[in-house]
Chain A
């Protein structure tokens, strides 16, 4: 898979107890396995099937994705920040690849 790069938008800092919004996007074809190529054969399925977000090692949010999710999956959710720390995001691909990224957040 060429150049799959996750992008995440997390505020740099937040007040303790604040609920922040996190926006994520990863470029990925999300090939459903139902589409036919030019040669008339089905294009094999290639889907990011799971996304997780952890904060300081504790689960915040996760989701299971099906082929019905658009290409370049965009996921937006919220998180409650009680302390400074690191968000860790991972995307699981059908082929076993895991794409990861991390973002730090400080307390105002």
Chain B
């Protein structure tokens, strides 16, 4: 993989990026694979895009090695109505899984922050599941200047 940085940037913009990029695991890192994982997580339910789940990411990440992300779900967090888990995917990474947060009523609020790696410019997706079986989703595009994952 002897692409220059400029070539890598160009490649990542194109639709054929996954093939050009040359990650050995890139076959698994497609939006389709992410969609499949979301389906499994949601148990066949169609996630509702809306204001209940907010995913906060920077619009442009200069360094793909540490990209701050924040998820926040509007929920009363009572014993019978709380957010059970929130899963995060990065569609363009060699492995789209990023993290799964598990909340309990004792969390008080369904909010979490961490820092992640992004290989290239791509969509980051968060999906939340509540104890009542509701499923929410939010998606943000992050432009990455220097990719992480050591590719």
Contacts and interface: CB of A to CB of B under 8 A. Distances in A.
Contact of B98 (A59, A68, A74): A68
Given A59-B104, A66-B98, A73 B112 contact: no
B41 interface: no
Interface string B113-151: 111111000000000000000000000000000001111
Nearest to A74: B115
B90 A76 contact: no
B97 A66 contact: yes
Interface residues of B, number: 36
B66 interface: yes
A84 interface: no
Interface residues of chain A: helix, strand, loop or mixed (majority): strand
B108 A78 contact: yes
A6 to B, nearest CB: 15
A76 B113 contact: yes
Chain A, interface residues (CB within 8 Å), range: 20 to 34
A20 B98 CA distance: 25
Contacts of B105: 80
B62 to A, nearest CB: 14
Contacts of A58: 104, 106
Nearest to B87: A64
B139 to A, nearest CB: 16
Contacts of B25: 34
Interface of A: 19-20, 32, 34-36, 55, 58-71, 73-80
- Which 5 pairs, one residue from A and one from B, show the smallest C-beta to C-beta distance? A80-B108, A35-B150, A19-B108, A76-B113, A70-B115
Interface of B: 23-25, 65-67, 77, 90, 93-95, 97-109, 111-118, 148-151
10 contacts: A58-B106, A60-B106, A61-B104, A63-B101, A63-B112, A66-B97, A68-B98, A70-B114, A70-B148, A80-B77
